[in-house]
Amino acid sequence: MRAMFVFTLLVLAGCSEAPRPEARAAATSGSAARPHIAVAGTRVALAPPEGFEPSAKVQGFERADGAAKLGVFELPTSFADALPDARESWSQGGFKLVREEPVSLCGAEGRLFEYERDTDGRARSGWMAMGGDASEAVLLVAECDEQARAALERPLRECLLGARWERTTGSALAFELRPAEGLVLVSDEGWSKAYVAAGAPSPVPPGTPFLLASSSAEPLDGARLEHACTESLATALATVGATIARVERSERSELGGLQGWELVARVRDPRLAGEWLGYVALVPRPQGQLRFLGHASPTEAARALAQFELTVRSLRLR
């Protein structure tokens, strides 16, 4: 699972609800240091530059004027597998890689990438920091309008490289799935499993049906499942400039004998033609939660949705 695949197509994976204003500040050393603020739904804390506030649109922070944002993603794959393997990976997602450099991130091996992209006719500069080990990775993204680059480049880089990642939040739930016909398992990290359409080439082309199943020790309020599904999808899409065009179905469902919630939506991305399928399912458990996120192109949507539903309904806890 390469970073650009996750970053441009699969940012749905591993995203929780958008941060809320009650995000807490953690103590820092040094009177001049800005406080680290925990990003809700993640194990990451950032010290955002002045003028940034917790966002309802992206899992992280943004400026009120929309000129810049900070996003956080935890990836259920190794650092080595998450790294992009070629500059072509960037161009496929509409990004231009400017430079990259090795860094230390959250006490682990890391890499910092600088990129450029256009969204809705606006030129934007960005920095993506990645770090991790053989079991998991973290991806931190900072973007700003080109006009704000001179003032924000240094504080945004410092914010990313000064991130804190707390990795002792408890054990995830063990689970099993039986993929529907036409889906194949391509990654199994124990607490997360990735499936794509059978016969798909590597790297996987945009629009290929993809389903990511993951478990987390993060608590999930069973009374807010519909809101959590909608916010998870909207937050992930906002990071790449996409939006929910319409929700086709949002309902409580029995998934593998467990009570959960499913949401099926059509997604609009200005870089892609048509309305794509977005699928989210959440299952709260006393020990944490199970999450299922999928997407597919318009031509694959009907078949992919049936495959996703069959696969999720085969859920069994170990």
CATH superfamily, region 3-165 = Mog1/PsbP, alpha/beta/alpha sandwich (3.40.1000.10)
> 172 pLDDT band (50/70/90 cuts)?
low
Domain ranges for the chain, please list them.
Answer: 3-165, 175-317
Pick the CATH number of 175-317 from 3.40.1000.10, 3.40.50.1100, 3.20.20.150, 2.40.430.10: 3.40.1000.10
- The residue ranking higher by pLDDT, 169 or 196, is 196
pLDDT tens column, 159-168: 999 999 887 5
For residue 276, give both structure tokens: 């794509």
Q: What angle do CA 75, 18, 122 make, to 5 degrees?
A: 85
Q: d(Cα 293, Cα 315) in Å, to the nearest integer?
A: 14
Q: Which of 220, 166, 219, 172 is nearest to 193 (CA)?
A: 172
Do residues 221 and 228 lie in contact, with contact meaning Cβ atoms separated by under 8 Å?
A: yes
Amino acid at 190: G
Name 46's Cβ contacts closer than 8 Å, sequence gap at least 6: 36, 37, 39, 60, 61, 70, 72, 140, 159, 160, 162, 163, 164
Coil vs helix vs strand at 193:
strand
pLDDT tens column, 295-314: 899 999 999 999 999 999 99
175-317 matches 3-165 in CATH topology: yes
Q: d(Cα 284, Cα 288) in Å, to the nearest integer?
A: 6
Q: Which of 198, 125, 186, 178 is nearest to 156 (CA)?
A: 125
The least confident of 7-11, 124-128, 178-182, 265-269 is: 7-11
- The residue ranking higher by pLDDT, 186 or 69, is 69
